[in-house]
A and B are shown apart, each in its own frame.
Chain A
Amino acid sequence: MSSKIPERTKRRVEDILSRYPRREAALLPVLSALQEERGFLSPSDEEWAAETLGLPPVKVREVVTFYSLFRRKPAGRHHLQVCTNVSCALNGADGLLSHLRQKLGVSEGEMTGDGRFSLAAVECLGNCDQAPCLMINDEHYGRLDLRTLDEILEKLG
């Protein structure tokens, strides 16, 4: 089971563990590090985290299912998270989202057939002065309209 975890991730986890007086406190950053490898958390990732931190597997599952940034199924190479809260909605967020649905042919929570894009509608990203905004993987993009959004998607490959 643990052989699937790359060495570099194991080294990162050791560093993460050194920051906390209790191993279980490292759970969120450890899960984030594991998710970075594959884009989602597999059952074996969860088991490895539980074993490494000395936690019952159910405790790990509880945490994975609580936080919106953890994913239990594969995401696209470019995971689009569109803010739909009030400040963005006042600046056209709903239009951006329906444009993406149409253009990519997917609904929120789905991935395109070629695995390039996945789409999610999310709550406030703390980027309201750049409304309407979205995140693509870890990057923020703001002041979007349909044209700039199309241009960004073109460039992603």
Chain B
Amino acid sequence: MILAGDRFLTRDFDLEHLYRIESYAARGGYQAAAKALKTMTPDEVLEEVKAANLRGRGGAGFPAGIKWGFVPRETDAPRYLCVNADEGEPGTFKDRYLMSHNPHRLLEGMILASYAVGIRTAYVYIRGEYGAIARRLEAAVTEAKASGWLGDHIAGTEFGLEVFIHRGAGSYICGEETALLESLEGKRGHPRLKPPFPASVGLFRCPTVINNVETICNIPDIILHGAEAFLRRGLSRDGGTRLFSVSGAVAKPGCYELPAGASLRELIFDRAGGMRLGRKLKAVIPGGLSAPVLLEKEIDIRLDGDSLVEAGSMLGSAGIIVIDDQTPMTMVLDKMAGFYAHESCGQCSPCRIGTAWMARIASRLRSGRRRDGDLETILRLAANIKGRTLCPMGDAAALPIAALVTKFRDELERTS
């Protein structure tokens, strides 16, 4: 079931100047920050977010409240908040919507997260290609400072927060949280070995919280209306709504807000206008390019973390790429393998060599020059990358490629 009109993250998006602080404040903006700072302790904020089961919206789905709870209390070291606005997962553009329409909601969420964890300095790591949005965020920070919502003594309290916008420079791997930290420290985006986890050893070796933009944008509502109300908005165990980026061969590509647990088929056919140009649906990538592909017969599924894992895929960043019956899967495989080969940071041999090898084969298949054993080689390479790299990108490359080759083996053999 889709509950039409139940919009929270995208509420007021039709308002032309929502990105200005007066418009945001007129629609109730910064009330959650005022409530928390004046009437709640940091622990009460933390507990409310924990109770809401706010799962991370960036890809991994880890509960935000639990993540915050890992930050050690007894430390004199500064703590940092890094908002992950790197949004590089192909097929994903929801954070762009959130930041361009409503940058102050992000800042308000950052105030709440920082208050809960005892943070006084926060960075937004935004991908280099989002220049106009970075400028909009800078403008919002300036407005918030001028209105007393950032800087020292926010809302007349002892709490203060500085926010800096940091632009990346073009690299998919920097969306991985430890690569993001390395990049923010001025280095190549090479993921770190975990543990230690960023909560204890993060930015500048200090305790650090890293949350996705959409995750942070949910916090003002949780604080204002409570965890209960947030949980009720989901149709399954996951709390709240999700922003789905729908693209590919649909009539109305776009960003749609639906309860967590809504139906994939209804999202595509009722919201996104169904297939364009009378095409038929052949396959769906349900959670950004790294999510294993689903066949047409598999799309009667709830869009929540657990349901997609059961189906052998993942909700990931909720970027949904719809593939039509006239698209050759050799093309999709070629693009997919080429992407991971280009974006591998090169640290781990299985990923560096394996993705490049898979890409060479995929390119050969697309041009119709398949050799005996090519598909087996791809599957063997994928199996040897999986679980053998120090960051999740190895799996992110291996799993969708293996799924595509397995599920479309007949077509690939016929057409390559």
A84 touches B96 (CB 8 A): no
Which A-chain residue is minimally distant from B289 (CB atoms)?
A86
Stretch at the interface among A6-14, A72-80, A102-110, A123-131: A123-131
Q: Which of B226-248 contact A (CB under 8 A)?
A: 245-248
- B148 interface residue (CB < 8 Å to A): no
B167 touches A28 (CB 8 A): yes
Cα–Cα distance between A21 and B77 once the two chains are bound (Å): 13
Cα–Cα distance between A63 and B168 once the two chains are bound (Å): 11
What are the interface flags for B83-94 relative to A under an 8 Å C-beta threshold, 1 for contact and 0 otherwise?
Answer: 000011111110
- Of A19, A87, A127, A138, the residue contacting B321 (CB under 8 A) is A87
For chain A, give the interface size range. 35 or more
Cα–Cα distance between A45 and B139 once the two chains are bound (Å): 28
- A154 interface residue (CB < 8 Å to B): no
B186 touches A128 (CB 8 A): no
A86 touches B343 (CB 8 A): no
- B183 interface residue (CB < 8 Å to A): yes
- A53 interface residue (CB < 8 Å to B): yes
Given the known interface contacts A25-B184, A129-B247, the answer about A86 and B166 at a Cβ–Cβ threshold of 8 Å is no
Cα–Cα distance between A101 and B168 once the two chains are bound (Å): 28
Q: Which B residues are CB-close (under 8 A) to A42?
A: none
Given the known interface contacts A66-B171, A66-B188, the answer about A89 and B331 at a Cβ–Cβ threshold of 8 Å is yes
B296 to chain A, nearest CB (A): 16
Q: Which B residues are CB-close (under 8 A) to A59?
A: 187
Which B-chain residue is minimally distant from A65 (CB atoms)?
B188
Q: Which B residues are CB-close (under 8 A) to A24?
A: 185-187
Given the known interface contacts A87-B247, A90-B249, A127-B93, the answer about A69 and B129 at a Cβ–Cβ threshold of 8 Å is yes
- A141 interface residue (CB < 8 Å to B): no
Q: Which B residues are CB-close (under 8 A) to A131?
A: 247-248, 253
A86 touches B185 (CB 8 A): no
A6 to chain B, nearest CB (A): 20
- Of B186, B253, B335, the residue contacting A25 (CB under 8 A) is B186
- B104 interface residue (CB < 8 Å to A): no
A126 touches B167 (CB 8 A): no
What are the interface flags for A1-39 relative to B under an 8 Å C-beta threshold, 1 for contact and 0 otherwise?
Answer: 000000000000000000111101111110110000000
Q: Which of A88-123 contact B (CB under 8 A)?
A: 89-91, 122-123
B169 touches A126 (CB 8 A): no
What are the interface flags for A52-69 relative to B under an 8 Å C-beta threshold, 1 for contact and 0 otherwise?
Answer: 010100010011001111
B186 touches A123 (CB 8 A): no
A67 to chain B, nearest CB (A): 4
A residues neighboring B (CB under 8 Å): 19-22, 24-29, 31-32, 53, 55, 59, 62-63, 66-70, 84-87, 89-91, 122-131, 135, 138-140
Q: Can you spell out 14 A-B residue pairs with CB atoms less than 8 angstroms apart?
A: A20-B164, A25-B185, A28-B167, A32-B128, A63-B187, A66-B171, A67-B171, A85-B335, A86-B285, A89-B335, A123-B342, A126-B95, A129-B93, A138-B132
